[in-house]
Amino acid sequence: MSKKDIKSMTYGELCDIMKQSGVPAFRAKQLFSWLYKVESFDEMTNLPKDMRAYLNENFYIPRITAEQKLVSKLDGTTKYLFSFEDGEMIETIVMKYKHGNSVCISSQVGCRMGCSFCASTMGGLVRNLTAGEMLAQYEYVNRDTEGGVSNIVIMGIGEPLDNFDNLVRFLKNINDENGLNMSHRHISVSTSGICERIRELADMKLQITLSVSLHAPNDEKRSRLMPVNRKYGYDELLAACDYYTSKTNKRISYEYTLIAGVNDSISDALTLASVMKDRLAHVNLIPVNEVKGKEQKASNAKRVKDFAEVLTSKGINATVRRTLGSDINASCGQLRRNHKEKVGEENVLR
Ligand code: SAH
């Protein structure tokens, strides 16, 4: 039997395991709080030796290694290329804001959603990350960042709702008062729009913010950019988002990346405004980050401004996202791809 990632076990599950093995309940509490302080079971000095031996035999603590760390000279944005024990890599980004530091974490190695503008999806999905591997990204950068990290956005490589069980474990564990005790109000989850999972998340009534990658004003344009829209159409997605708002009272953040000549016309803005009207929504406009090997170009600054003005003039809450870390290629998925390409070249040379 292969060992399990212990940080993916919830506190309740650890309590059950302890109970079944006849270990007193307080040991689960000790173990759970140790998990966020040390890197091996042997360091958990107040646990009995036989319990540590049992843990070593059945579980592992996921380890993460920083292969690369790039710091933007422009704004301090920091990008990490992390590897896991099996050699797979993901990216994690720390963004510095006046109100505090925010970390963007990855949820999968690669992605299978196939969005036409995105670098993360280019090699397809390799594997899901465990909850422990998601937590490890936060823990590492929290230690490595002056002043720590106060907000988490799950907006890195991968589709979090395509890795639902691990996502939920991550959300439970980070919020557990016996562990990291971080409020869900400081966490956002971004999705390309897997409707039944949005509804499932809504039913859990967590206080996380849901970001939805919309990127188009209608079905036809969205299907061209995002294959997921062929499975869950535009209206179905909006209905799932409305359901999320009705259950949680939370405003949805709609992401809209502006691609020149594709989804950035004034008529697109007007259509988007009518879609957003009467919804508890915020629209986040992002000029597309140009990806090597893809032809999409970013809308120019004037068009971005005009697009935003159309929305605000119609009473829609909209902002243009500040571009951070442009000197370090901060858009997710690009560093991992560059690394893969380089390794590929080296292999050819050898
Ligand atoms: N799979 C999730 C989360 C990861 S992507 C999702 O789709 O929401 C995080 C955000 O970056 C999404 O809004 C995604 O559409 C956007 N994105 C991906 N590639 C981009 C690019 N080249 N330029 C701008 N935004 C991009």
Q: How do residues 285-337 score in pLDDT, each as one tens digit?
A: 999 988 888 889 999 999 999 999 999 999 999 999 877 777 776 565 666 77
The one-letter amino acid code at 132 reads G
CA of 213 to the centre of ligand 1 (A): 7
Instruction: Classify 64-349 by CATH class.
Output: alpha beta
CA of 229 to the centre of ligand 1 (A): 15
Active-site residue identified among 15, 91, 115, 241: 91
Share of the chain above pLDDT 90, in %: 81
Residue position matching structure tokens 């109000």? 185
Tokens of 143: 């230690």
Q: Is-catalytic flag, 309?
A: no
Q: Is-catalytic flag, 91?
A: yes
Residue range(s) occupied by CATH 1.10.150.530 in the chain: 4-60
Per-residue pLDDT band at 342 (split at 50, 70, 90): low
Q: pTM score, two decimals?
A: 0.93
SS3 for 174?
helix
Distance CA 236, CA 222 (A): 13
Residue range(s) occupied by CATH 3.20.20.70 in the chain: 64-349
Of all protein residues, whose CA lies closest to atom 14 belonging to ligand 1?
213
Of all protein residues, whose CA lies closest to atom 3 belonging to ligand 1?
155
Q: Which atom of ligand 1 is nearest to the CA of 215?
A: 15
**Helix ranges (DSSP H) in the chain:** 11-20, 26-34, 49-58, 131-144, 164-175, 195-204, 219-225, 228-231, 234-248, 266-276, 301-313, 334-349
CA of 42 to the centre of ligand 1 (A): 40
pLDDT at site 290: 87
Task: Among 112, 201, 255, say which to mutate for ligand 1: greatest number of ligand atoms within 8 Å of CB.
Answer: 255
What CATH architecture is 4-60?
A: Orthogonal Bundle (1.10)
What's the angle, vertex CA 222, arms to CA 220 and CA 224, rounded to 5?
75
Ligand 1 proximal residues by C-beta, below 6 Å: 113, 115, 117-118, 155, 159, 190-192, 213, 255, 257, 286, 288-289, 291, 331
pLDDT at site 143: 94
Burial 31-52 (b: 16+ CB within 10 A, else e): bbbbbbeeeebeebeebeeebb
Q: How far is CA 47 from the centre of its chain?
A: 34
Contact indicator for 193, 237 with CB cutoff of 8 Å: yes
